[in-house]
Structure 1
Amino acid sequence: MPTFTSNGVQLHYVEEGKGMPLLLIHGLASSVAMYKNEIAHFKEDFRVLAVDLRGHGKSDKPLEYLLRDHVQDVINLLDYLGIERVSILGTSMGSYVAQGVAIKRPELINKLILVVAKAHGKFSSSQEMLNRHANELPHLTAEEQQSFLFRHTFHNIPAVVKVMEENQQDEILLTPAQQAAANKALEGFDFRPKLGEVTADTLVISGRYDGLNPPERGMEIVRLISKAAFVEFTKSGHAPQVEEPELFLEQVTDFLQK
């Protein structure tokens, strides 16, 4: 299990394939396990990397950290591996980290793919949703709460549930304290003033039915990055790579090969 240490925290990563480096950055409370299909697909043409961010997966789980720590961890990983140029695909929280890297070290980025993204947030998107529906959830059972939140998050729910079940053995569930730390790290970030400094060709992908980071948040990013394009997946919510997997791989592959 390859690991490296970033500012005293041991982080797990995977590396497969050869070619131009492509780094995958996962979402909140997830891990490299969410990219199983993407790694299998892209390793044929790319040197694919995926990292468990601090507080997630098989990496160390401190109970206090910030979004900027995630950003620096990714930069440290690239330096550790001697990578001077990389394309980055980040999903949800991973897209925030990717934006931070592209702003801090624009010369590192070949192409940037931001999936179900936003450029700013007072809270994590999942916490924002919980806050919006605070009056509707307390009387529901845990199962009913999950069903309620899924309806507001995804469009192709059976596909999402199927993949979650398939990845269940590979994902490492966070304790309540670890989950709270992961959420808190995303509080109060705002990349909007700096996104104009991003120089990479950028693709922003949103899902039409995404109740966490709806398409208007993705379009806001496109307006701020000079070389950015926007694609809305019309049969997806917050997981386009799961809800419309063939279209997702096609769009991303075409963009990377241009």
Structure 2
Amino acid sequence: MPEINVNGVQLYYEEYGSGEPFILLHGLGGDHHMFEGEINALKKSYRVIALDSRGHGKSEKVPYYTLDDHVQDVIAFMDELNIEKTNQLGASMGSYVAQGVAVSIPNRIKKMILVVAKAYGKTSSTARLQAEHADELKGLTEEEQMYALSKYIFHNLEAVGEWSQRVAVDVPVLTSEQQEAARKALVNFDFRPQLHKVTAETLVINGRYDGLNPPKEGREVVKFIPHATFVEFEHSGHAPSVEEPERFKQVVTAFLAG
């Protein structure tokens, strides 16, 4: 159970395989478990490092932090592990973190995959979706709200449901206070003015039916990154790797081989 202290916070991570480093950055409220499919595919060719962001998973829970804290944690983590250059894959919140890392240390990122990405947000995508459907969610608990919103977030609900049950076994559940701290970290960020600094060849993937970060958000990211390609998954929502796993594997493999 490897842990490391960076920027005064204890972070948990898991490591698989060998070769070029490949850092995986999870979404809001998640942890390294969400990448089971990606880990199994990538560990055959890469040194895969799945990091639990501060406030998430098995990493230290702190009462307040920002998106830039997540970014600086990844950079400090790379320094501590003597990783001079890496590939990175970020999903949802992880895609925001990955963008921040890529504009801060562009020469240290080789290839980058941004899944269900956006380049800016006034609030978290979850908070925005909850506000849009406030009447429908009245009187529901947080868990009940997310269940009710799932039809706006995912397309292949059966696949996502099976995946969620499988990975949820070992995932620590965040308290309401911890969830709120995680969401507040995603308030008022905008990487668009800085994305021209990215030198990494970049793949952006969004799902057509994603009510959190719809395809238009991913296309906007591609507009600002010099060497970026956009792929829309036509039968996915917010979890393309789960909803269309074979296509996801094919698209990612082709990108990394190119």
Q: Which TM-score bucket, shorter chain as reference? A: over 0.9
**Aligned partner of 1:132: which letter?**
E
Deviation at 1:161, TM superposition (A): 0.7
Structure 1 portions without partners, runs of 5+: none
Label 1:136 to 1:51 Cα distance change in 2 as closer, same or farther (>3 A): same
- Give deviations 1:149-175, integer Å, cap 9, x for gaps: 000000000100101100121211100
The match for 1:178 is 178
Q: Do the aligned partners of residues 32 and 141 (structure 1) sit closer, same or farther apart at CA in structure 2, a change above 3 Å counting? A: closer
Number of residue pairs matched by the alignment: 258
Distance 1:66 1:139, change over 3 A: closer
Specify the alignment match of 1:188 in structure 2.
188
Task: Tell me the alpha carbon deviations over residues 177-236 of structure 1, each in whole angstroms, 9 at most, x when there is no partner.
Answer: 000000000000000100111111100000000000000000000011111000000000
In the TM superposition, residue 38 of structure 1 has moved relative to its aligned partner by 1.2
Q: Find the residue that maps to 1:152 and give its secondary structure.
A: helix
Instruction: Report sequence identity in percent.
Output: 55
For 2:48, the equivalent position in structure 1 comes to: 48
Is 1:238 the counterpart of 2:242 in the alignment? no
Question: 2:201 matched to which residue of 1?
Answer: 201
In the TM superposition, residue 139 of structure 1 has moved relative to its aligned partner by 5.2
| Structure 1: distance between partners of 2:82 and 2:97 | 20
| Alignment of structure 1 residues 162-177 onto 2, 5 Å | 162-177=162-177
Q: Is the 8 A contact 2:17 2:46 kept in 1?
A: yes
Q: Secondary structure at the match of 2:153?
A: coil
Letter in 1 for 2:89: L
Pairing 1:226–2:187 present: no
Where does 1:83-98 land on structure 2 (aligned, <5 Å)?
Answer: 83-98=83-98
Q: CA RMSD in A?
A: 1.2
Aligned to 1:149, what secondary structure does the other structure show? helix
Match of 1:74 in 2: 74
* Deviation at residue 140 of structure 1 after TM alignment: 5.6
User: Once the two structures are superposed, what CA deviation does each residue of 1:117-170 show, in whole Å capped at 9, x if it has no partner?
Assistant: 000001010011011111221056777634430000000001001011001212
Q: For the residues of structure 1 that align with 2:43 and 2:208, how far apart are their CA atoms? A: 29
Pair 1:191–1:229, CA change in 2 (3 A): same
CA deviation after TM superposition for structure 1 residue 79, in Å: 0.8
TM-score where L is the length of structure 1: 0.97
Q: Which residue of 2 aligns with 1:161?
A: 161
Note the residue ranges of structure 2 that are not aligned, 5 or more in a row: none
TM-score, L = length of structure 2: 0.97
Q: Which residue of 2 aligns with 1:10?
A: 10
Against the structure 1 CA distance between its residues 133 and 40, is the aligned structure 2 distance closer, same or farther, given a 3 Å change threshold? same
